[in-house]
Structures are given as structure tokens and as C-alpha cells.
Structure 1
Amino acid sequence: MTTATAPPPGPRAGLRLGARLAEASWLPSALAVVGLLVLWEVAALTFLSGSKAFPPVTDVVGNVVDDHELYVRNLESTLRAVWIGWLYGNLLATAFGVVAVAVPHAERPALHLAVAISALPIIALGPIFQVSLQGDAPRAALAALAVFLTTMIGTIVGLRACDRTSLDMVRAFGGGTVTCLRKVRLRAALPDYFAALRISAPAAMLGGIIGEFIGGSDNGIGVALIAARAQADPARVWGLALVATLVAGAGYALIALVGRLLSPWAPRGLDGPR
């Protein structure tokens, strides 16, 4: 009695694996990051070995591992303020975007107001917030300002990117503006809305760190960066920058995952067909 054995993987299996790897939109970015880190390490150990401004990646990672308590403590302080600013800034921007679409005459004034708010220099607003607000509020306010315009425009573009035929059908059955918004526009807005939220995550992180640079906080990534610069510690400066970048990228990826789950019909790539 003979037993059946599975046939060896043929060229079709290799083609399927290649297709799956090609569909992984994160793979080119991951390879580019790894290549950049390798190039950085090689350059720091060869022709940039005499420069104190560019320590090897291994030294930067070693500094993060050895002083992980310092990194965790300052990162928690920054995220505590950034998270609040990101949340309230996006909620306010979403409300402005919905009103701008629901009330056509309000769209132009709302956009002008959003542009004016975003054009205000952070360097000037930071001291004002520090004088008028307390605790983490100044950093949170700057983080909220950093995300406001992006999310508002993403909300407006998304709500307007719906099928006109569906809108006409809802109106033909007696539906009004609220019904069109609830039945058609909200679902159509999810891809563009989550694209704006993805961009807002690194922007909020940057706004919070700039607020710490201006002052008014005892700890945080920005405060630690100032201290590391004063101590002429390039490994810690790069380590703090690397940690902030990784956290901002993690926020971007998490929001992208949630958007993928809530809008599976949306194109996977930035250049995919709509």
C-alpha cells in the first residue's frame, strides 16, 4: 500500500509568494529604512568617524537601551500631552468639516478660519499658551493646532467624495441633508478621513515636541533633547530623535490599520485606483 505524498512546490507557488510580497505595501519602505540605517552605520565608522555629530547606529541604540528609563519617562510625558491635543484637535476639525459640508455657505469661512489658525506661528503662540494655560495644556494646544487643518480638509474632501447618484436617490425618497450625510457621505468619507488622521499623528508629535522646546515643561522629549544638546551628547540626541520617529510611525501605522479594517473597500496604496 502506497501513501500519497504532496507534490513539490512548483513555479506557481513561487509566483504566488512573489505576488504576496509585491502586495505588501510596507515592504519597500521597510527595506529603504534598513538600507538607510546600514548606510548610516558604515558612513559613521568610515569617512565620518571623526565627526561627533554622526555617531554609529549601534551607539545610538546602545544609549537607548542603557538609559531606557530616561527615554520612557520623557516619552510618557510627551505622549500624555500629545494624545490629548491629537484627540481634541481632530474632534474640532471633524466638526468644522461636517458643518462646512452640511451648510454650503459655511464652507468658505470655515476654510479661511482653519488656514488662519494654521498660519499662526507656533513660536509666537507657545509663550501665549504657557502664560494662559497650565500643566500639559500648552503642549496639547500646540499639538491640536498642528492637526487641525489637515483633518478638516480630509473631512471635507472625504464627505464630498461620494457617489452623486446615491445622493440623488436618497433625496428622491425624501431624505434631507442629515440623511444624505448619515447614509452616503460618512461611509464615502472614511478613506480620505483616515488618510488625514494618519498624517495628523506625526504632526501632533512634532507640535508637542516644539511646545517643549519653547519651555514650560519639566520633562518630555523636547526637554531631554535640549539637555542632551547642552551636554554635547550626540548619541542621546539621535536616540531621542529616533524614539520620537518610531513612536510617530507607530501611530501612523495604527491609524492606517484601523482605517483598513473600517474601510476595506478603499485602495491599499497611496497611488491605487479610487
Structure 2
Amino acid sequence: MSAPASLPGGAPAIARLRQALAHPWVGGAVGIALLLAVWTAVTVTLDNSSFPTPAQVAASVVRDGWAFYSANLSASLGRAGQGYIWGNLVALAAAALVMLVPRIEEVVTQLGVISNCLPIIAVGPIIMAIFGGRASAIFLSALLVFFTTLVGALLGLKAASASALDLVRAYGGGRWAQIRKVRLMAALPALFTALQVAIPGALLGAIVGEYLGGIDQGIGVALNAAQRQIMPDRVWALSIIAGLISLAGYGLVALVGRLLTPWAKERRS
């Protein structure tokens, strides 16, 4: 029996299929459809009330309504946004300070590693006991952002060409002039990549901080309440929506990075 590709029109059809799947959005749509199909098949097979089907999760979103989700999402996004800003600002300031005073690089990187290794579940209650629940959510969000942006900024700032740095030095420019005129531009591609990766971390830190308590509204608060009330469909819905928001933020920062750093397209590929 001959292979399907040897049939009349078989090879062009396969080529067209491969070309269609090469588009990122097509591959993503196919992946999501397969995921939903597997999810539905598993839930129907297990017949477990704590493992809702996609239809039950969607029905839960409709039942809870826009008022429920808008209040909780806006609260979490506000805290995640503040943590994202503070974490990035501190990381960028630390990276610039390393460029100005290279001797402190080891100390700064060690502090970054320590901040990344700290278990947020253990740190959160301490911050909440000292400053309150809202501050703990913002702090944990900034904590999960700091290390990622610090590493990306340091790698980007060091990516500047030696000839360009020598040129600035030849015209009398110091380390600060090198940062402004050369290193900052060279760091943008790596910096935008770090800012992308920091988006999910910022939202995760805010949700964990809310989950610990001391806050009235937020995704973490709603997740905690849904678990206590044994509402698995709402738990799944909140988790999926949080993931979709992180994905949307990741894509938005990636788009901004592509628009502002078109020269780095080949490097990203």
C-alpha cells in the first residue's frame, strides 16, 4: 500500500497543513483544543465532583458574574502592579549601581539569589505580621520580580560592545556616561525578556500574599474562600483566569519589546 503522501494531491495537502501549523496562533489554538478535549475526557472518565469539566467551570464564571470577578481581579492586579513596579525599580537601580561600582557585583548577585531562594510561604506571614496583609502581597510580588529583572539587566548591560565603550571613554565619558549612551541601549532586549518573565511572578506573589489573609478582596482571598466552601469549579475558574491574565501580560510586554527593539529580532529567534 502506498503512503498517503503519494496519493494525488497528498504532498501539497501535507505541505499546506505544515505551513498552517507553522503560524504560532494556529499551533496555540490546536493545543488549546486538544487540552480541552483531554480535560473533558479525563473528567468524564473519573466522574469526580472535585474535578469539574470545562463546561462546569465556564458555567461557574457565568454564575458568579462580572461583579465578583471585576472586584477581585482589580484588587489583585493593583497589588501585583505595585509589586511589579517596585521590584523592577530596585532591580534596575541595583544593576546600574553594579555598573558604577563593579566591586559590589558579587554582593548584589548574592542578595538576588537569596531573595529568589526565600520561600514566600514562610516570608509572607512575617511581613504580614509586621506591615499588614496588603503590604505582604505587594512585598511578595516585588520579591518574585527582583531576581529575574536583576539578572536580565546585568546580562544586558554587560552585552555592550567593547569598541563603543572605548569610544565613550576616549571622549572623556565615565561609567555613568557609558550606561546612558551605550549600555542601556544594548540592555533593552535582555531587559524586556526579563520584564516578560517577571509578569507571572508579580501576579503569583500578590495572590499568595492575599491567600495568607489580612485582605478583604483579591484572587487569593476568593481562592481561599472557594476552597473552604468546597467549590472546585470556582477554584478552577479563578486559577485559569489568573493564568490567562499572566499570559496576556507576558504577551503585551513581548509586543512592546518587539516594537521598541526591532534590531533584536534575530537575537530573539
Q: Match for residue 209 of structure 1?
A: 207
> 1:55-66 maps to which residues of 2 (within 5 A)?
55-66=52-63
Tell me, yes or no, if the aligned pair for 2:92 and 2:153 is still in contact at 8 Å: yes
Deviation at 1:20, TM superposition (A): 8.8
> 1:28-107 maps to which residues of 2 (within 5 A)?
28-45=27-44, 47-48=45-46, 50-68=47-65, 69-107=67-105
| Amino acid across the alignment from 2:183 | R
Report the CA distance shift for 1:84/1:222 in structure 2 as closer, same or farther (over 3 A): same
Tell me, yes or no, if the aligned pair for 2:133 and 2:213 is still in contact at 8 Å: no
Tell me, yes or no, if the aligned pair for 2:258 and 2:265 is still in contact at 8 Å: no
Report the CA distance shift for 1:160/1:27 in structure 2 as closer, same or farther (over 3 A): farther
> 1:73-152 maps to which residues of 2 (within 5 A)?
73-134=71-132, 136-152=134-150
| Amino acid across the alignment from 1:252 | Y
Q: Using the TM superposition, name which of 80-89 and 67-76 deviates more.
A: 67-76
> 1:112-261 maps to which residues of 2 (within 5 A)?
112-134=110-132, 136-261=134-259
Gaps spanning 5+ residues in structure 2: where? Answer: 1-14
Alpha-carbon distance in 2 for matches of 1:243, 1:232 = 19
For these two proteins, the number of residue pairs brought into alignment is 254
Once the two structures are superposed, what CA deviation does each residue of 1:51-94 show, in whole Å capped at 9, x if it has no partner?
Answer: 12321111111211221221221111111111111111111111
Secondary structure, aligned partner of 2:160: coil
Deviation at 1:35, TM superposition (A): 2.0
Secondary structure, aligned partner of 2:263: coil
Once the two structures are superposed, what CA deviation does each residue of 1:119-161 show, in whole Å capped at 9, x if it has no partner?
Answer: 2222222122112214622210110001111100110001111
Secondary structure, aligned partner of 1:51: coil
Report the CA distance shift for 1:130/1:251 in structure 2 as closer, same or farther (over 3 A): same
Superposition CA RMSD, Å: 2.2
Alpha-carbon distance in 2 for matches of 1:235, 1:28 = 27
Q: Using the TM superposition, name which of 118-127 and 193-202 deviates more.
A: 118-127
Deviation at 1:18, TM superposition (A): 7.9
Tell me, yes or no, if the aligned pair for 1:25 and 1:269 is still in contact at 8 Å: no
| Amino acid across the alignment from 2:210 | E
| Amino acid across the alignment from 1:39 | V
Alpha-carbon distance in 2 for matches of 1:37, 1:190 = 37
| Amino acid across the alignment from 2:163 | T
The structure where helix makes up a greater share of residues is 2
Tell me, yes or no, if the aligned pair for 1:85 and 1:140 is still in contact at 8 Å: yes
| Amino acid across the alignment from 1:166 | A
Alpha-carbon distance in 1 for matches of 2:136, 2:84 = 13
Tell me, yes or no, if the aligned pair for 1:147 and 1:204 is still in contact at 8 Å: yes
